[in-house]
Structure 1
């Protein structure tokens, strides 16, 4: 039963992520991103990590989406519609998307741990301390990389919202 829900949430998450990239309207992209975040939060609930699910909803769906919506409101849509992407730029992205999708499907079906439904739980009631220790000890580099990506996104939003002189 859990595996079925996981496949459902993961599939909807991938579909909404694709909608995020493909949508031409920035508001539709923001709504697809919010739906993707909610699906990831549901996966956290399946993994018996309610703290991460709530943090996912509060931080990403709440705070980050508000930031994105403010950026969307500040962009001059008439000018943005006139600017187009480079022609032919969709083909390499589509090829990469297909390669990564096939790789994900192969890894899911060849994985031995996919069929085993044993969530990793920490011993005792000290799960937040264990989570913090694991996050800042074992996964420090990915955590800092995510911080840098969010900082770059914020700077990019400021650059996009800035009016050109003249």
Structure 2
């Protein structure tokens, strides 16, 4: 249980570092570390499939895209517009609402006994595949057709048509 609390502390720490770091590249790197701590949480919760998907998709693909976008934007202090006091006030109000919500949810949350799963194999990939291909076969196939249609549409939209002379 102490590993869970240590990783939870690291998650919160690196999430705050993501927010408060001035350099956007460092902020993205802290976000990668935060996602890694989420992967450790998934492993501790016996959800290996979610851990692998989080590791590959979020840490691998999306964070690389964030880094490329930040490098292509070429942000510097001269081109960044000054934020008005209204935007700062709205940010403070939104942060206060978030803290109020988190405080209220923590006040309601009472855990007197440790949580024990009835089925410890619930997060394994094999069990997920059995449920996916038995109970949810039709929605799975419909979503695959929808994704295939979107991919074909994206290819057709990106295709350059030859100009007629």
Smaller-chain TM-score range?
Answer: 0.5 to 0.7
- SS across alignment from 1:115: coil
- SS across alignment from 1:122: coil
Change (3 A) 1:132 1:9: farther
Q: Who is 2:122 aligned against?
A: 122
Larger deviation: 75-84 or 64-73? Answer: 75-84
Larger deviation: 87-96 or 120-129? Answer: 120-129
| Max Rg structure | 2
Change (3 A) 1:98 1:125: closer
Q: Which runs of 5+ in 2 are unaligned?
A: 141-165
Q: TM-score, normalised by structure 1?
A: 0.64
Q: Who is 1:103 aligned against?
A: 104
- Give the Cα separation in 2 of the matches to 1:105 and 1:57: 28
Contact 1:9-1:39 within 8 A present in 2 as well: yes
Alignment match of 2:35 (pick from 26, 37, 42): 37
Q: Which runs of 5+ in 1 are unaligned?
A: 141-166
Alignment of 1:129-144 (within 5 A): 129-130=129-130, 132=132
- Give the Cα separation in 1 of the matches to 2:58 and 2:131: 19
Offset of 1:125 from its aligned partner?
Answer: 7.8
- SS across alignment from 1:82: coil
Offset of 1:71 from its aligned partner?
Answer: 0.5
Offset of 1:67 from its aligned partner?
Answer: 0.2
Alignment match of 2:73 (pick from 69, 72, 75): 75
- Give the Cα separation in 2 of the matches to 1:19 and 1:126: 37
Q: TM-score, normalised by structure 2?
A: 0.64
Alignment match of 1:8 (pick from 6, 29, 41): 6
